[in-house]
Structure 1
Amino acid sequence: MAFEVFDKRSAPMKGTPSVTIQKRGILSINGPAHKLIDGALVVELLFDKSRRVMALRPADPSPRSYALREPSKTGQTLLSATAFMDAYNIDTTVSRRYEPFEEDGMLCINLAGPSIEVHGNRSRASKEDAGA
């Protein structure tokens, strides 16, 4: 059996902004990333096709805006963006974690940039149940 090197990047460093695009188009935004948009609870979703960058821009409630779920005790907040992911053909077959950046007051995710495939506890448990 061959050894493999543990990649610490699979777990985000404490205090580092991260956004995970989960299977089926749910965005999971950690506390440091949410702070990049001042903890906004209503956003508009934008997409730059040429750069493959999606963005969340703080907004007032409107027919085009999305409400984020209140942050959990750990600071995580969620946003269902399934229709957005479908409209721009963003792959959601596996969950991927990105390091977002701030641009013009928006929380941006470079979908063409580096990302880490992530597996939650549920997928790990189902593999164990299946005898994997």
Structure 2
Amino acid sequence: MRGPVVSGFETFTKTLVALGRDPQVTIQKRGTITLNAAAYAALHEPQAVELLFDRDDLVLGLRPCEPRLGHGVFVRPATRSPNGPYVVSAMAFLKYYGIDTTVARKFRAEVRWPVLCADLAGPCAVVSKLPH
């Protein structure tokens, strides 16, 4: 049910949200890696990915793979929205490489096909939820 139309105002609906243009990867506190819709699209919307890490340059990589590959990790939507985000379970990977999960951090990602890369030594944004 819609309320009365007020001159000069638009009603915000979730369908009006534009996709982010830049691929982004977020390392969450709970040990997951989240991809925005642009990052997921840049990987050609895989069912599963391989988790890669360059220790020398501190670059996290995700490469599409067959879901049945023994070390592949499924990519699942975090919500029912077709606009993402998409989640990869990565706690063991993050712990093994000593990647900080004390705060959620968002990184710009770039595609070096077939790998989506996030420079963990580069700039990032700390992601936090606002208190209610």
Distance 1:112 1:29, change over 3 A: same
Aligned to 1:3: none
Name the TM-score, length of structure 2 as normaliser.
0.78
Name the TM-score, length of structure 1 as normaliser.
0.78
Q: Deviations over 1:5-46 (max 9, x none)?
A: xxxxxxxx8322211111021111110011111111211111
More strand by share: 2
| Unaligned segments of structure 1, at least 5 residues | 1-12
Identity %: 36
Is the aligned partner of 1:118 residue 2:131?
no
Aligned to 1:37: 43
Q: Is the 8 A contact 1:54 1:111 kept in 2?
A: yes
Given the alignment, which residue of 28, 34, 38 partners 2:34? 28
Aligned to 2:62: 56
Is the aligned partner of 1:98 residue 2:98?
no
The root-mean-square deviation of aligned C-alpha atoms, in Å, is 1.6
Q: Is the 8 A contact 1:40 1:58 kept in 2?
A: yes
- Which amino acid in structure 2 is aligned with residue 18 of structure 1? Q
Local SS of the residue matching 2:95 = helix
